[in-house]
Amino acid sequence: MALADLLAALEREAEDACAGELRRATEEAERLRESASREGSVRLEALLAEHGRTLRARGEEKLVAARRRAEARVLEARHELLGRVFDGALALQDEVRGRDAYRDALERDVKSLLALAAGEEEVTLLCHPLDRARVAAAAGRGVRVEGVEEVVAGVRLRAGQGRLTIDRSLAARVGSSRAELAMRVVQQVEAPG
């Protein structure tokens, strides 16, 4: 019996050892599972955060692009509006001829142009044929006055064989003050109320 007891004792010892190994293996498996779960959660959070950043960046890019397109449309609309306003103003330049303010300004322009060209040779004033007599009267003797269709309103001075040219036509004035006029028009059009 001693052998049977010894075998039973060895069996119990082996069973206890196996149970201990199984318990340790189960505990290790649980620790690994918990660690993997934590690591998976951390990785998942990192992936979700990265995905969120990517989506926000794409959204921001789309928003910026949409803003740029909207700003471009606004600029295009402003450009169109200003083109129509200035084209309309230039189309009406022939109508200013009958106004007292135009006649007075024309005479002042002739005198100021001649003062600027004092001492120059071969001074010629260019104006619309309908303004020729008024320009000639304002210029006085000795100044050549030519009526040309290209100067619809106002006057242009040419002297020194073309070396000096001063343009006081309405088209030139509108062109030179276009930026300032454009800002005023846009402010009036876009003013609230």
> Residues 20-47: pLDDT tens digits?
887 887 887 788 788 878 887 888 787 7
pTM recorded for the entire structure: 0.55
Q: What is the pLDDT of residues 133-160, one digit of tens each?
A: 998 888 888 888 889 888 888 898 888 7
Give dist(CA 114, CA 166) in Å, integer.
10
Give the model's confidence band at 1: pLDDT under 50 very low, under 70 low, under 90 confident, else very high.
low
Mean pLDDT of the chain: 81
- pLDDT surpasses 70 at 176: yes
